[in-house]
Structure 1
Amino acid sequence: MSPSTTLSRSCPAERWLEALPLGNGRIGVMAWGDPHRARFSLNDSTLWSGSPQSTQRWRTSAEEATRLRERTRELFLAGEITAAQDLLEQLGTAWSQAYQPVGELVVTREGPGSSVPPAPDGDYERLLDLAQAEHVVRAPGGEHLTLVSAADEVLVHSAPCPPGTRVGLELTSPLVEEQRSEDEQGLSVVLRAPSDAPPPRHHARGELAWDEEGASRVAVVVRTRVEGERLLLACAIVTTWQGLGKQPDRPVAEALAEATEQAEGALARGEQELRRRHRETPLPGADAVGLELRGSAEAELLSTMFAYGRYLLAASSRAGLPPANLQGIWNEKVLAPWGSNYTVNINLEMNHWAAGVAHLPGAAAALEGFVGMLRESGRETARRLYGADGWTMHHNSDPWGYTDPVRGLPKFATWPMGGLWLERELDSIAAFSGEEPTEIAARRLPALREVAAFALDLLHEGPGGTLVSFPSTSPENEWITAEGETVALSESTGMDRWLLREVFESLIAKAELLGRGDDAMVRRAADALERIPGPRIGADGRLLEWHLDGVGEIEPTHRHVSHLGVEYPGGQHLPPEVSAAVVTSMEARGDEATGWSIAWKTSLWARLHRPDKVQDLLELFLRPAETADGERSGLYPNLFSAHPPFQIDGNIGIVAAIAECLVQSHRGEIELLPAPAPILADGTVHGLRARPGIELDLSWHDGRPTAVRLRAVGPGAVGTHRVRCGEHQLLVELPDEHPVELDASALGGNPPGPAHRSNLQGVQG
């Protein structure tokens, strides 16, 4: 096992944030690692409260929405912004649903060996092998193995079981238990999720509901047997899920029968066969990319965090199923923080920034399927709430297709740009695929036309012949009016403008590539693009976040940096003065932030070629989250990222941030090591991707390349490419999909350092 792909602990977990995660893209398990009382916290990515119909009765009507929009615009233009915002809040009257836990499975053993005292220091170790997706406990009496098989769709656990041992099973759950049967082979349980789970702030309108109608069920079937002197357990979890956006009303008997067949079929295969099948069916892209950093314990930990983030995304996202939510697929609470659902003003997108550059095709496919479902429900929302064509969505969503604003303050709720950001994200992922540009354009053009149609209907005449978006906010942030009132409502915030411009530019470019530049929607977008201002710089040198310059700020160091998205993850070519304004904005925002915000800021500083600031942010990211004074951003004992509390976007977002320090390709060239912070000064990476689909193997020492290899992963990446490192550059021809070795010295490379020479000598010897 490589240290960079292994999490090692010297004692069992005593709480959920010490347990270690396993997943197969659907089933999620937190393994606690007690050799005497094995405990597993169970999840399934398809188990959510409610259904597509849960909150329909609360949603704002088209007639009411028209009245609210028109009056809100009148008040805003009259300078009565607080009154306009208070009125606009009524546009969101419902809520999205919450991701649910399945329960806790405990396996006990009584008899010979069960009374062995706790292992002394040095006699116990538990490991999470990220490369193999296996949890191993080594303790007196033998080895314990746990995995979640994608091949067999079950949790597998094996442990020492001397003759005479009695095995006990316990399954507890915060859900409603509807059926249970137990015998000497195992147990079968059917549980019911809540039929509606309003967030706590909505309890004036609705409490957590447990009605039988409109609720998901989950069947959990556990089977055990003894092979020689080893216990083998198979646990299957099957829900009444029928698909994204569909009622979860599959017959319970079918789900229970499928779970029984899976558990018993897996058990019949035996431990070795199950392990072999598990290893031969890795999650898509799981072993495609690897990073090893050298030079310090912190560098090695950062290598682990890179591998861990890729592992967590692969393990919590599968094509056709819900993509990774706020906690991946690992949640212990019926009402988790923020419902453990989808926050679309940053967190869902950040969860997938690494899908292209760090090649996780399963996650990319999961996001694409999810967005496809949102387009369908978002069309009705666009028509009803905005009288608009195309589709839209707002701040929160769930697998049932929720796209309305949620009931709450406009600063987070009334943000109709979610569709544009998600389509931009799918564009970005596609750019790493190696497909022919015309193939990408043909696939993406219909979706871009549709989301552009909504955007065009959101635009109003603005000052000086410009077009402005309204209603508009800068997600979750607020500003202070000249009258001293705190508000969020604006028009054409900095975030809106970069999303509008980037989506319109992508639409126009793809249409022209396909010879469809005369398409009516494309012409409308091109005309609008001429009238939508680009990034604006304020008198203080910062990039403008709001529609006015010089406004007061309620929280100058706010965690969201939405208006700076034009720099990252945006792909536009920015003039130097705009990037300088981003720097000034970042300096004013400060370093301290939530876990996911630190990941975003790291990516921004990398894009800005500032290794010194990358170092500062990575040090914050790697620190312990728990202190004597309370919690802060950082890492929990199991290396989950803290908002706080736990949110997985920090874990996954840091993968994209590290990749941005090693390779950038948004400017039409491949730039190596643009932000080699001291913690990143020495290392090797393989399989990282650059646009338009070029696989990169790179070794470096003191921030300079020592070996470089490129490979086109598809016909769209074949051809001549400019490769640059600092002031040095090469034109590289990739004639086909075979790898090409580059002359590292021509890119300013150093000869290998002592560690590199040692490795090379070992290979030659």
Structure 2
Amino acid sequence: MLSCKSFAQSTNTLWYKQPAQYFEETLVLGNGKLGATVFGGVESDKIYLNDATLWSGEPVNANMNPEAYKHLPAIREALRNENYKLADQLNKKLQGKFSESYAPLGTMYLTNDKATNYTNYYRELDISKAISKVTYEVDGVKYTREYFVSYPDQIMVIKLTSSKKGALSFDVKFNSLLKYKTIVNDKTLKINGYAPIHAEPNYRRSDNPVIFDENKGIRFTTLAKIKNTDGAIVSTDTTLGIKNASEAIVYVSIATSFNGFDKNPATQGLNNQAIAATSLAKAYAKTYEQIRQSHLLDYQKFFNRVSLDLGKTTAPNLPTDDRLRRYAKGEEDKNLEVLYFQYGRYLLISSSRTMGVPANLQGIWNPYIRPPWSSNYTTNINAEENYWLAENTNLSEMHAPLLGFIKNVAKTGAITAKTFYGANGWVVAHNSDIWAMSNPVGAFGEGDPGWANWNMGGTWLSTHLWEHYIFTKDQNFLKNEAYPLMRGAAQFCLEWMVEDKNGKLITSPSTSPENIYIAPDGYKGATMYGGSADLAMIRECFIQTIKASKILNTDANFRTKLETALAKLYPYQIGKKGNLQEWYYDWEDAEPKHRHQSHLFGLFPGNHITPNQTPDLANACRRTLEIKGDETTGWSKGWRINLWARLWDGNHAYKMIRELLNYVEPDGVKTNYARGGGTYPNLFDAHPPFQIDGNFGGAAAFAEMLVQSDEQEIRLLPALPDAWSSGSVKGICARGGFELSLEWDNKLLKKVTISSKKGGNTKLISGEKTKNISLKAGEKLTINW
């Protein structure tokens, strides 16, 4: 085997001694649009290809259920009569179609039949470079492959070399679960195809779940071309290859006809064939080194902004899968923790750079034609959790695809608000897709209201607009982009709420995401009124919209309406167990340890519950988390770590980080033990199955443990665990447009450097010590604490 001494135990490299056998062992690459999932096989290297804009379907008819709102009076009447069973049944009348599904573009194979007996195999992904590498030996010849996906050149490149002249021979071929045709001409492998017009969610039974129509749906093109210095290019009708070379470079170009959420991709689409051909021609004219260099310059300007050091480690250097197994037994590996944090940032840079097309449930890496939960945008937590690390880990630009998507979904959402709820403004229910679908799902009455009918997605999404502003202090963005959308989300909430019997404002009907209550008569239901989660999100939305209106000195009358409504909201209630009530009444949960904790929104990601400003509510949140326990799915664990961090309990947050990194076998491995939430061999989050939100939520929590902020103050090391007694971090961002670097030792802050993007004032707090700061734009200050 290779000596491991040359590979120091790393904070930026995943590496393995064998090729991937399963998806959850692969190494993933991406430029925010083109995604590649690399197995690193020797005889046949399999690479799943994806494009962020390749989905089933076509523009949604938002006006699909034009008279749904007429059922509202009956639902509200049933709720006034406390007839929850009837309310559940009637609530099904407020349902529409399911979302479309993210599609797998296809699989590319690099085959070399002669390489059966190999030795010294090594496979890595260096996340500091966004480059993957495979090396192995056959009959004394060393073979190397290097892979990356370039954003500047919009191309995937694979460089293959052999240490012996003329020893390199391989073929490139392609297949897909979609409809496609392959031709080879001009020494180029050319694939053209199209996605389904509909793909049913994977959890629905159907005789015909995937429907293709050659005249409808998104078109795609994949081109592959080989550049060689020696050897001979060979081809068949469906393959392109090289014989007896020493070095070869494979260029892979991909494009789709997707031209926006409201354009028919078959009749108003982009010219995918021309776009792919242009990208290929431009990249092919450059050397490998030129493309590699511009890729590194582009990628590292984002990745290198943040560094984290959690102190000395005594962990041995092991392959990443073995490292995870060792860590799961409770062993120390601080550099694995740093690697996990930076891997989250790597995944966001790699999956979120296409305007209006955010990272989905699987980022951009999906091999299934009916992926789990359609690999869509689930807005009752998962789509938002994907972006919790965007601002505070210094990747504000990666937030832009989600912010652009909000603009799209507000357009369809205005129709949904009118037709489903009889209100102005805009609304989003709990699922969306590339077509900015906004209606509640459930197939027009088949769905359980527990998951199908929740309608606070727009309210939650709107808070991302404010977050982007408060981290960047970009007033043009606030005025021209954010505020009109925030206002529309708030407008819907104003009109949607009704008064309870005491004159307090509540939502009716209401559900709490995917959770079920037990009513006093024993009925287990979802539809009720005045759910705490709804009101928490509305509170945050109103607070932020009021602030934005004041900053812009605009809309005084509307602001007054919001202020009046805010004061009238049904207040939080603390239940008999000391918990924060999820329901209007102090009812029991059907599942006390349920994965969703939406009613704790005000603590995190919201900001209106804090241990110092609202200690009773913060303690009630703590009690809720204690009752729920720590054992939960991957994304839910990511959320709970952030909640514990906001309660300034670093040791509990750290305990759950260790659980989030619990080793989980790939889905295809038959194991005889429970497969709960955790982390797969390639560091993908195990919901299970793979869902990327746990990676993003978990990475965000690291930053939350080290720095917390609002518009007035920045708390330094607020949830530092004992395990991280010494360390440093550089480049973490705080609200107010500040950037920070910290050094600490023995759990005490030693040094802080703070800089300001736009100029401003803040208060630094660490332990008992505070310091007021005033900085001009671009000014930097270092303080020995």
TM-score, L = length of structure 2: 0.89
What code does the residue aligned with 2:736 have?
P
2:295 to 264, 278, 301: 278
Displacement after TM superposition at 1:293 (Å): 1.9
Where does residue 346 of structure 2 map in the other structure? 311
Give the match's secondary structure for 2:298.
Answer: coil
Where does residue 72 of structure 2 map in the other structure? 69
Give the match's secondary structure for 1:733.
Answer: strand
Alpha-carbon distance in structure 2 between the residues aligned to 1:313 and 1:652: 8
**Deviations along 1:350-395, whole A, 9 cap, x unmatched?**
0011111112123211111100000111001111111110000101
The reply on whether 1:454 has 2:471 as its aligned counterpart is: no
Where does residue 705 of structure 1 map in the other structure? 749
1:611 to 628, 643, 650: 650
The reply on whether 1:561 has 2:561 as its aligned counterpart is: no
Where does residue 441 of structure 2 map in the other structure? 406
Q: Is the 8 A contact 2:736 2:762 kept in 1?
A: no
1:92 to 92, 95, 99: 95
Where does residue 512 of structure 2 map in the other structure? 474
Alpha-carbon distance in structure 2 between the residues aligned to 1:79 and 1:133: 57
Alpha-carbon distance in structure 2 between the residues aligned to 1:593 and 1:253: 43
Displacement after TM superposition at 1:171 (Å): 0.4
Give the match's secondary structure for 1:463.
Answer: coil
What code does the residue aligned with 1:247 have?
N
Alpha-carbon distance in structure 1 between the residues aligned to 2:686 and 2:456: 27
Where does residue 465 of structure 1 map in the other structure? 503
Where does residue 522 of structure 1 map in the other structure? 559
Residues 441, 539 of structure 1: alpha-carbon distance in 2 compared, 3 angstrom cutoff: farther
Superposition pairs of residues 573-722 of structure 1, within 5 angstroms: 573-574=609-610, 575-626=614-665, 628-666=672-710, 668-713=712-757, 715=758, 718-722=759-763
Displacement after TM superposition at 1:552 (Å): 2.2
Displacement after TM superposition at 1:231 (Å): 1.0
Q: Is the 8 A contact 2:126 2:132 kept in 1?
A: yes
Where does residue 233 of structure 1 map in the other structure? 250
What code does the residue aligned with 1:75 have?
A
Residues 268, 444 of structure 1: alpha-carbon distance in 2 compared, 3 angstrom cutoff: closer
Displacement after TM superposition at 1:125 (Å): 1.7
Q: Is the 8 A contact 1:344 1:395 kept in 2?
A: yes
What code does the residue aligned with 2:135 have?
R
Q: Is the 8 A contact 1:342 1:397 kept in 2?
A: yes
Alpha-carbon distance in structure 1 between the residues aligned to 2:471 and 2:648: 22
Residues 560, 482 of structure 1: alpha-carbon distance in 2 compared, 3 angstrom cutoff: same
Give the match's secondary structure for 2:74.
Answer: helix
Alpha-carbon distance in structure 2 between the residues aligned to 1:106 and 1:201: 30
Identity percentage over the alignment? 33
What code does the residue aligned with 1:516 have?
T
**Deviations along 1:377-416, whole A, 9 cap, x unmatched?**
1001111111110000101000101100001111111111
User: In terms of mean alpha carbon deviation, does 75-84 or 222-231 score higher?
Assistant: 222-231
What code does the residue aligned with 1:587 have?
E
Residues 306, 165 of structure 1: alpha-carbon distance in 2 compared, 3 angstrom cutoff: closer
Q: Is the 8 A contact 1:501 1:534 kept in 2?
A: no
Alpha-carbon distance in structure 2 between the residues aligned to 1:239 and 1:442: 30
Q: Is the 8 A contact 1:185 1:225 kept in 2?
A: no
Where does residue 241 of structure 2 map in the other structure? none
Where does residue 235 of structure 2 map in the other structure? none
Displacement after TM superposition at 1:321 (Å): 4.2
What code does the residue aligned with 1:133 have?
A
* Unaligned stretches of 5+ residues in structure 2: 1-6, 231-245, 316-332, 666-670
Where does residue 111 of structure 2 map in the other structure? 108
Superposition pairs of residues 160-171 of structure 1, within 5 angstroms: 160=161, 162-163=165-166, 165-171=168-174
Alpha-carbon distance in structure 1 between the residues aligned to 2:494 and 2:115: 70
Displacement after TM superposition at 1:458 (Å): 0.7
Superposition pairs of residues 127-138 of structure 1, within 5 angstroms: 127-138=124-135
Displacement after TM superposition at 1:225 (Å): 2.3
Alpha-carbon distance in structure 2 between the residues aligned to 1:128 and 1:681: 29
Alpha-carbon distance in structure 1 between the residues aligned to 2:405 and 2:783: 40
Displacement after TM superposition at 1:295 (Å): 3.7
Residues 495, 251 of structure 1: alpha-carbon distance in 2 compared, 3 angstrom cutoff: closer
Where does residue 145 of structure 1 map in the other structure? 146
Q: Is the 8 A contact 2:763 2:770 kept in 1?
A: yes
Alpha-carbon distance in structure 2 between the residues aligned to 1:711 and 1:481: 53
1:361 to 375, 380, 396: 396
Displacement after TM superposition at 1:278 (Å): 1.4
Q: Is the 8 A contact 1:545 1:563 kept in 2?
A: yes
Displacement after TM superposition at 1:461 (Å): 1.5
Alpha-carbon distance in structure 2 between the residues aligned to 1:149 and 1:704: 42
Where does residue 242 of structure 2 map in the other structure? none
Displacement after TM superposition at 1:219 (Å): 0.6
Q: Is the 8 A contact 1:434 1:694 kept in 2?
A: no
Alpha-carbon distance in structure 1 between the residues aligned to 2:487 and 2:401: 22
Displacement after TM superposition at 1:489 (Å): 1.0
Residues 70, 182 of structure 1: alpha-carbon distance in 2 compared, 3 angstrom cutoff: same
Alpha-carbon distance in structure 2 between the residues aligned to 1:343 and 1:581: 27
The reply on whether 1:320 has 2:355 as its aligned counterpart is: yes
Alpha-carbon distance in structure 1 between the residues aligned to 2:395 and 2:607: 20
Superposition pairs of residues 291-302 of structure 1, within 5 angstroms: 291-296=308-313, 297=315, 298-302=333-337
- Give the alignment's Cα RMSD to 1 decimal: 2.1
**Deviations along 1:443-480, whole A, 9 cap, x unmatched?**
53222221111111111121211111122111000101
Q: Is the 8 A contact 2:470 2:711 kept in 1?
A: no
Q: Is the 8 A contact 2:31 2:150 kept in 1?
A: yes
Displacement after TM superposition at 1:336 (Å): 0.6
Where does residue 751 of structure 1 map in the other structure? none
Residues 37, 514 of structure 1: alpha-carbon distance in 2 compared, 3 angstrom cutoff: same
What code does the residue aligned with 1:425 have?
H
Alpha-carbon distance in structure 2 between the residues aligned to 1:440 and 1:514: 8
The reply on whether 1:33 has 2:40 as its aligned counterpart is: yes
